[in-house]
Structure 1
Amino acid sequence: MDEIKDRVAAVVVTYNRAEMLRQCLMSLQKQTMPCDILVVDNASTDDTQALVQRAAQHDASIFYRNTGENLGGAGGFNFGMRWAVEVGYAFVWVMDDDCFPEPVALEKLLDADRLLQGEYGWLSSVALWTDGRECRMNRPKIKKNFYDRIELLRDGILLAEQATFVSLFLKAETIHAVGLPVKEFFIWGDDIEYTRRITIREKMPCYVVGQSRVIHAMKNNSGSNLAVDSVERLGRYKLAFRNEAYIYRREGAKGIAYYIAKRGRDFLWVLTRAKDHRLKRLGVLLCGVGKGLAFYPKQERI
């Protein structure tokens, strides 16, 4: 057990959600295969630091670092994954503070690692919402040719193309090889870029592990949709559309065509489905696309 504990680091990025973080830490402490817990605090102004420090007094596997400023989810994962790899962990398991893994979640990821003999880029858990149904925000993209490894279905494992940072498991050597998430994304799309970087650009096989499950305790399970989302969240879509422009531009003509099709769909949805602030929503869409044309962030390596 100590050997496993020394090898796996759970990286949890948090910001002003102390109660969520407390539940996340409790879920990690209940894992059947224990791990060290690295808490990355994006300069929270609530009692997050005090909560983690109290927990660490009773559990030597919990560690805390404050980024000094709000780096967003993307910057937080960049910070935390660098921390874990530089310390020397062999495996890095990343998640948000509102992610509550089932007790065997890590055990099943490690089982998949052994079954695959380490031949993978990343492994993703299945994210469920609080009612036990699929969490729409975290739906992985399954590869069309998943039948190339059809024998893995008996173990609940599927070839996948992209996933989110709500329970993503990687080897440290993979992070060394492909670099870190793009911190300039700030929020939204950093996990899609990173997982697709590994599957599409680096051509590593990656998998969803069906027996590894987590609860993603989002406020609602409606996913993301510019046409119907609340007006106070619209600013995030500028970043989403900017970041996706970078993601799909790097995948050539096919990626660019896909991006244009998605934005055309968003435009039509705003016209036909938006019940308020239609012009503002269209402005957000156009602004995000425009910013994406000149967005060339750096990819850091360790």
Structure 2
Amino acid sequence: MMQNKPKNRVAAVVVTYNRLELLKKCVASLQEQTAPCDVLIVDNASTDETSQWLKLQTSIAFRNTGSNLGGAGGFNYGMRWAVEAGYDYVWVMDDDTLPKTNALERLLDADEILKGNYGWLSSVALWTDGSECRMNRQKLKKNNCEYGSLLKDGLVQAEQATFVSLFLPAEKICRFGLPIKEFFLWGDDIEYTRRIAVRGNMMGYVVRSSQVVHATRNNMGSNVARDSIERVERYFYSFRNEVYLYRQEGFKGRMHCAVKRCQDFFRIVCYGKPKGIRFRVLFCGIRAGWSFSPEVEYLEKYTKRMLTENMEKQGN
């Protein structure tokens, strides 16, 4: 049996990098939840005053990764930490996520309704003005009729979601592995949620009554043609990672990816200024994606332990 099991069943894993003021607001929101959770902060080697502030906190746990692992590496690190620490559930988010007071309680209600028969749960993400946050829009399953009875409970089946308030049992992390840390930025959450819901056939759900505010600078979403020039280089990771992702989903996935990249091409033609660097990032990312082959990490030791515990629970 698991030893030294945490008092609270849920670990809220927050990845942060050089955004101390937003981190403070995120932590305050987590500490005000109507359902208790432990707060685990993964500091991606921030160079501002984040480390000094964290050292003064007595009600939260934190670890410094020693180098900037990117969002993907940070979530890989944090989810591993939470599972190895013995938490039953892991609730992940960025440092600019501000959960409403009952967000976690509503996720736990959904877990109870579904009796654990799901891959992950995702909150509704709003922007700072109360409108939908475009970059965190989940991809819903086209046909929800089969599970129409759940609609009355505000549960909608979905195939992909982001790491802005994603909730899942530790057992699912053991079964499906960790986020791919080599993604570094962009697409790690889409690959992970699709790995579970689409390729793993363990459906995810949007919990409409669970809401968070995603305090991004704007609500435009990501667009390589219109984004500011200082951010364009980051899109390399998006294009590379998406090519890898949809390679895993056969012909249909590859065609979907091809259509998306054609859309990016024509957006740059129509709106991109300057165009040269945007085309370079697009083509370099696509080319890199065809040879990009990272391996999924599994927590074998803890997977065996989880299976043993589940068998014991069923025997009681």
TM-score, with normalisation over the residues of structure 2? Answer: 0.92
CA separation in 2, counterparts of 1:30 and 1:147?
A: 36
Of the three residues 18, 21, 34, the one matched with 2:20 is 18
Give 1:188 shift.
Answer: 0.2
Which amino acid in the other structure matches residue 13 of structure 1?
V
> Deviations along 1:136-182, whole A, 9 cap, x unmatched?
01000000011211111111110000000000000000000000000
Distance 1:111 1:103 in 2: 14
What are the Cα deviations for residues 16-41 of structure 1, in whole angstroms up to 9, with x where unaligned? 11111000000000000010000000
Q: Tell me if the contact between 1:10 and 1:37 (Cα under 8 Å) persists in the aligned partners.
A: yes
- Quick one: distance in 1 between partners of 2:187 and 2:203? 20
* 1:92 match: 90
Equivalent residue letter for 1:87: A
Q: Helix, strand or coil for the counterpart of 1:6? A: coil
Determine helix, strand or coil for the equivalent of 1:218.
coil
Mapping for residues 242-261 of structure 1, pairs under 5 Å: 242-261=240-259
Residue equivalent to 1:105:
103
Q: Deviations over 1:52-94 (max 9, x none)?
A: 22232xx2xx101000000000000000000000000000000
Q: Secondary structure at the match of 2:48?
A: coil
- Aligned sequence identity (%): 60
SS in 2 for 1:55: coil
Structure-1 separation of matches of 2:293 and 2:212: 34
Which residue of structure 2 lines up, in the alignment, with residue 32 of structure 1?
34
Paired with 1:170 and 1:282, the residues of 2 have a C-alpha distance of 38
Structure 2 alignment gaps of length 5 or more: 300-316
Shift of 1:130: 0.2
Shift of 1:262: 0.5
- Supply the AA of the counterpart residue of 2:277: K
Aligned counterpart, 1:297: 294
- The one-letter amino acid of 1:197's match is R
The counterpart of 2:170, out of the listed 145, 169, 172, is 172
The residue type paired with residue 274 of structure 2 is H
C-alpha distance in 2 between matches for 1:267 and 1:54: 49
CA contact (8 A) 1:4 1:34 kept: no
CA contact (8 A) 2:94 2:163 kept: yes
Of residues 279-288 and 175-184 in structure 1, the stretch that sits farther from structure 2 once superposed is: 279-288
The match for 1:75 is: 73
1:199 and 1:216 map into 2 onto residues whose CA distance is 23
Displacement of 1:97: 0.2
Cα-to-partner distance string for 1:107-146 (whole Å, 9 max, x where unaligned): 0000000000110000000000000000001000000011
* Structure 1, 209-218 or 149-158: larger mean CA deviation: 149-158
Q: Return the letter of the residue paired with 2:275.
A: R
By how many angstroms is 1:241 displaced? 0.2
Q: State the secondary structure of the residue aligned to 1:241.
A: helix
Contact 1:234 1:284 in 2 (8 A): yes
Which of 112, 115, 124 matches 2:113? Answer: 115
Supply the RMSD in Å over aligned alpha carbons.
1.1
**Does the 8 Å contact 1:12/1:94 carry over to 2?**
yes
Matching of residue 214 in structure 1 with residue 205 in structure 2: no
Q: Specify the alignment match of 1:190 in structure 2.
A: 188
Distance 2:7 2:94 in 1: 20
How far has the Cα of 1:5 moved from its partner? 5.3
Q: Distance in 2 between matches of 1:142 and 1:279?
A: 35
- Give deviations 1:255-295, integer Å, cap 9, x for gaps: 00011110011001110122x11121111111110111110
Match of 1:53 in 2: 55
8 Å contact from structure 1 (residues 129, 216) kept in 2: yes
Post-superposition, which runs of at least 4 consecutive aligned residues in structure 1 deviate over 4 A? none
AA aligned opposite 2:20: A
CA contact (8 A) 2:11 2:37 kept: yes
Q: Give the structure 1 partner of residue 306 of structure 2.
A: none
Is this contact kept in 1: 2:23–2:95, CA < 8 A? yes
